Amino acid sequence: MILVQEPWIFSDLTLKRTRAHPGYRVFLPAGPWNRRPRVCTYVKDSLASYASQLQAPFSGQPDLLPVHFHTLTLDFTLWNVYNAPDSDGVVAPRAASTTLLQQSFPNSHILCGDFNFPTGSWLPHQSGTTESERFHDHMLTQDLSALIPSESTHDRGHILDLAWVSGANLAAQCTIKVEPSLEVDSDHRTLLLYLPLSHLPPPVPSALNLSTLRTDSYSASVSRQLTGVTLTLQSASDIDRAAGWLIGVISQAAQESCKQRSNRIRSLPFWTPECQTASQNLRRARQSIRSSPAGAARAQAQAWFQTARSEFRSVFKKARQSHYDTAIAGLSDVGAVSKFTRWHKRPFAAALPPICDPVTGIWAEQSADKHTLFHQAFTNPGYAASDLDNPLLNPVETGRPIEFPALSETETPDIIRLPSEAPEWL
């Protein structure tokens, strides 16, 4: 899991978009966005099936993001927190901590983020404020233990970023530290928190790539398993057992004669060797800033970082522009245009936030409940007349029209034969 504070958010807040990664599911604050949220959580695809975003008991607070993880051996809620400082100017100071003071944490909870609390509780040389001491006392009352890094998390020497873990047993298994290899262009350092997730169920094997089926190997495997086998079919239970056994024979033969689909993340189509070299140079420059002592060496490292970042952005933009210019110039018919614009086959990988049923008022947090609610919204006539203004059914309008060329009579049948993009459950 990756917890980001003050992430990049697209200027059109109605779209609710941020930076995505093909190997991670993105969780964003639910509800209407009147301003840019300051928290964003990325969960790896292998863990996304265990994660569900909770409907927070508060509204209008996009600086808190609770995500619940549930497995057979571990059940906890991970909070991404950004506590606005006194000089924020956007929201009331300490808005997130004020909201957390009203919450109780009965089960396993982990609170991570930027708390902006330089307090004497974990900084002996720092005098605490009334708000920080009250927050610290409330966390202790809720049986939350502080995980404090051994070094400062801010360029000014304060420990502003830390974690709170409920329960002494869970806190004893968690460790936190500043990780220089994960540094980004920020005045805050990146923290690495270890959680006891070693007892997760094994990952589900990937699907078989049937295009790689070797017919000779498949036939040999089936023949080997069927040799000397006699099936007695005298009752319905005998037929069921025989059918299950035959399914196992076919599955075993397919696994022996097919390759599995690759789960590796595909790189960008325009990622050239020049982009790779510029990216490595930028990574080395970023790491040199933290490793350089203050003074002339630090200033030289910062200048190197600024130059490396400008070079990387220039190389990246040129490679991307060249790739798409060449691809667009090679489009000759509607079929090629449809294939090129299949970006909608993999939409923005943001997790669906909790949804409120407009009729019953019940919030759907789990995937199965959201599935049922969407099915009712699209199939039940009772929703069509009364919920036209419901954001659940009302699509987002970008305000930028897309011009389509006129279609000829020969191209119309090709358009009709294109596969439908509607979800299967509709």
Please spell the DSSP secondary structure of 272-310, one letter per residue. -HHHHHHHHHHHHHHHHHHHSPTTHHHHHHHHHHHHHHH
Is 159 within 8 Å of 122 (Cβ atoms)?
yes
The distance in angstroms from the start CA to the end CA of the chain is 32
CA–CA separation, 336 vs 99, rounded Å? Answer: 52
Ordered by start, the domain boundaries in the chain are 2-194, 207-262, 273-345
Mark out the alpha helices in 145-295 (DSSP H runs).
168-173, 215-226, 236-257, 273-291
Q: 234, exposed or middle or buried, with CB in 10 Å at 0-12, 13-18, 19+?
A: exposed
pTM: 0.62
Is 19 within 8 Å of 45 (Cβ atoms)?
no
Q: 225, exposed or middle or buried, with CB in 10 Å at 0-12, 13-18, 19+?
A: middle
CB atoms within 10 A of CB 70: 12
Going by C-beta distance under 8 Å and a sequence separation of 6 or more, which residues neighbour residue 395? none
CA diameter of the chain: 89
CA–CA separation, 68 vs 51, rounded Å? Answer: 6
CA–CA separation, 305 vs 283, rounded Å? Answer: 9
pLDDT per residue of the chain (426 residues) written in tens, 0 to 9 = 889 888 888 888 887 888 888 788 888 887 778 888 888 999 888 777 788 888 766 666 788 888 888 776 667 888 898 888 766 555 556 778 888 888 888 778 888 888 887 665 556 556 666 777 788 888 888 888 888 887 777 777 777 788 888 877 777 778 888 877 677 767 788 888 887 766 555 655 667 777 788 888 888 888 888 888 888 888 888 888 888 888 888 888 888 888 876 655 556 788 888 998 998 898 888 888 777 777 788 788 888 888 988 899 899 999 989 988 888 888 777 777 777 776 545 555 566 677 777 777 777 777 777 778 777 776 665 555 445 444 444 455 556 565 666 777 777 666 666 554 444 433
CA–CA separation, 23 vs 264, rounded Å? Answer: 9
Assign domain 2-194 one CATH number from 3.60.10.10, 3.30.930.10, 3.40.50.2300, 3.30.1330.10.
3.60.10.10
